[in-house]
A and B are shown apart, each in its own frame.
Chain A
Amino acid sequence: MKKLLAIALSLSIFLGLAACGSSGSGSSDSGSSQASSATGGDSTEPETLRVGTLDTTDTFDPCSNSGCGLGLMMVYDTVLKLNYDTMEVEPCIASAWNWVDDKTLELTIRDDVTFSNGDKLTPEDVLYSLSRFVYENDQFDPGYDNINYDESTIDGNQLTLVLNDVDAEFLNALSNDRWASVVDEEYVKANPDAWWDAPIGSGPYTCVENVDGSHSTYAVREDYWGDKPDAENVIINNYSESTTMIADFQNGDLDIVLDTPETDYLAAQNGDYGDGVQTKLFKTWDLLAVCLPSYTECFQDINVRKAISLALDTKAITNAVYGSLGQTADSILIDGCDFYSSIGVHDYDPDQAKELLKEAGYENGLDLKVVIPSTTTNDKCAEIVQAYLAKVGINLSIESYDFATAIPILMANGTDISIFGTGGGTYTAASITDTLGENCSNSGARISDSTFNGYLNAARTTLDEETRLDNYTKAAQWDFDNYWTLPISYAQAVDLYQSNISGVTGLVARAIDLTSVVIN
């Protein structure tokens, strides 16, 4: 009996281990490629591009992907495409476009594009892909709910989109590298649960495997309609710890690592990660700002707002939060975005700040609370702001919560001051100002003033570029003069890549265009 039990136990452990082993070895080669090069075994084939990211790959549903979007960019084509060097919109699935009037856009859809399952891409697929954001997932709208789907028409390869309102940035919306992805209507309707591991797109790669929390692998499509990418295969490894990602990069197990911490950027520049390691800086398109909500009573007095502005040394805060990757903000629009113009940086004058607080009736100081979603940047910024405000007699208490806890508090006006990155990581002036204007659902950042919103609306609803520049500049100047949103920093993020890699380009560091990367 004893022996039998011992044998049974041993057998169960052995079978368990064998089962665990087979679950891993039966699938992709990502783990093996990592392991082999670290141990000097079989090297990965040269045409395989290995990328490390701290983001998740997530689902391939463009409507609900909350990951880095790298996979979407490889598997799908977008309606139009952004040229990352010129920041101009270029043809893609739509080979040409024409504004019939301010609200009517004609798109010519290419007729030589097929999805990876062989289905032909049609204008119906394009219209369906945009409409999904309205009819199937109404949580987020990239601007496609402005399309009047009843009046939009298809005639051969011509897709005519009729807009409800003038939208100056509609072409930008159609070139968004994840939301403007075109899906196969027939396939999606027949396979509504295939978003994770069997997505069908018309892009240059097909997804071979997508293991949540680990990696995803891609193979180039031989029948791709456009220019074939250099890398035959791509492996995206998802990390939760940057130290491990950098260790793999140092070992040569990764060709590119995305969005690395500043310390790694400096180390790479010093040559600590080996000769020839290259770095590329990208704008994050986020504005770190201190927002003074109108519902906090003391901020109705402009002297209090101005005092807070004078109490903050934005240059020092920028340096402390972002180090060499930071840039002091001089406008609510982000340097580099369309219609940006430098407005100026508020002075740092704590003595005058104290005087203004005294004038406003707060000579004995002021108690304020800030609630922040806990991130390294937010936490660091809040602590430094707290220290600066303490110098002028403002006692700022910090409540840092995880995202799911902080957001309901912020939405319920539960913070006296808001500290967070606005801008949403997008490059258009409208998207950036959307996070501050009257339509912003975050009351902690919302500026309700009619003059400010008048400028924004005037800029948004005209196609005339001069008028738009004029109005965005006026809006930024108005905020500078009224101290509601105090811009602190623009940030940059950095990618590292090995010496044999070139062609690294993209809008943001965490989601570069892997189809343009060349392995030398």
Chain B
Amino acid sequence: MGRFTLNRLLWVIPVMLGVILIVFTIDRFSPGDPVAAELGAGYTQEQYDAKKAELGLDKPFFVQLFNYVSKIITKGDLGNSYHTGLSVTASIAERFPVTLKLAIIAIVIAVGLGVPFGVISSTRQYSVADHAVTTFSLIFAAMPGFWLALMMIICFSIQLKLFPASGYKQWNCWVLPTLSAGLSFVATITRMTRSSMLDVVRQDFITTARAKGVNEGTVIRKHALRNALIPIITTIGFQFGILISGSVIVETIFNMPGMGSLMMTAINNKDYPVIEGCVLVLAFFICIINLITDLAYGIADPRIMAQYTKGKKAKMKEAVK
């Protein structure tokens, strides 16, 4: 298990290097000029050249890339923002917790509603409850995120005055953003849970468990749901990645200083160090989420855990048998 985890963590290094290369290249060759963005509409060629040199953009592409990578490796330094002059590492350190918290609460909401809905829907197929759950989840899946967020502000903030429309320091500031981010994913998790459960509940071992007189709740919880978890975990891991990297709309509408709004501003300003730093950090966390997802497979399915814990030779032997 430890070896598996270590192995996966080591794979993060080449992935990160690949991400750096891709993002760095796309940034440098995409339209738009960060020097012009900094100088504004009126500048002379001398001012332009001086600014370009100051930002280090006068050097050849590979020199810029080498400098960037070596700074990250030797000092853990993601550079300074062209626009604000602030350390990118410090900016991300300030903003990432907001995005992470938003994503975690949103995914908890999505899982907390999606999995029970899916279970209800599958165990009472074609019943009123099944139709109600499916309709409810599809409504939220069909709503564009920004529209749902705005409707929530109008309803719960302006009309009912229950929750604030912005902010991030008190608990009640998080209710609307996390709900609007989480509810969109309820449908996906519900549908995945439903279809996965329907596959499992028709299998012989479930019938056997029922024939043996096992309580129906235990049959569903311990036998059916557990065996249906693998695709659900995959979906949750995938959705969590989307929440971490795609929180810009929720952050913008609810005025939360997270990574999404930082990236949007950076993209508008062609602020290369911030864009690259954000993408790098997000890619790292996506790798970690994938690792956690893989480890969660092991918890859900003892057979997978056995594969993690056994050595390579044992696995080979097992495969031969």
Residue positions of A touching B, CB distance < 8 A: 1-2, 5-6, 9, 13, 16-17, 19-21, 23-25, 27-32, 34-40, 58-59, 64, 66, 138-140, 195-196, 211-214, 237-241, 243-245, 247-248, 250-251, 253, 373, 401-405, 407-408, 410-411, 420, 435, 440-442
Contact = CB atoms under 8 A, between A and B. Distances in A.
Contact of A39 (B94, B158, B163, B265): B163
A48 to B, nearest CB: 15
B99 to A, nearest CB: 9
A212 B40 CA distance: 21
Given A250-B158, A403-B37, A405-B31, A441 B265 contact: no
Contacts of B164: 34-35, 37-39, 248, 251, 253
Given A39-B162, A58-B84, A240-B255, A138 B50 contact: yes
B170 A35 contact: yes
B292 to A, nearest CB: 7
B78 to A, nearest CB: 15
A38 B161 contact: yes
A284 B169 CA distance: 34
Contacts of A40: 161
Interface of B is mostly: helix
- The 8 A-B pairs of least Cβ separation, nearest first, read A31-B169, A20-B101, A404-B37, A38-B164, A31-B167, A247-B165, A214-B257, A404-B32
18 contacts: A5-B295, A24-B169, A28-B169, A64-B85, A212-B94, A212-B257, A213-B257, A213-B265, A237-B166, A240-B261, A241-B252, A248-B164, A253-B166, A404-B33, A404-B36, A404-B268, A407-B40, A408-B36
B196 to A, nearest CB: 21
Nearest to B85: A59
Contacts of A34: 164, 166-167, 173
A405 B261 contact: no
A441 B43 contact: yes
B47 A21 contact: no
B145 interface: no
Query: Size range of the interface on B?
Result: 35 or more
Nearest to B252: A240
A110 B37 CA distance: 39
B42 A435 contact: yes
B227 interface: no
Contacts of A402: 32, 268
Interface string B23-41: 0000000011110111111
Contacts of A442: 41-42
Contacts of B166: 34, 237, 239, 244-245, 247-248, 253
A139 B98 contact: no
B299 A139 contact: no
Nearest to A2: B299
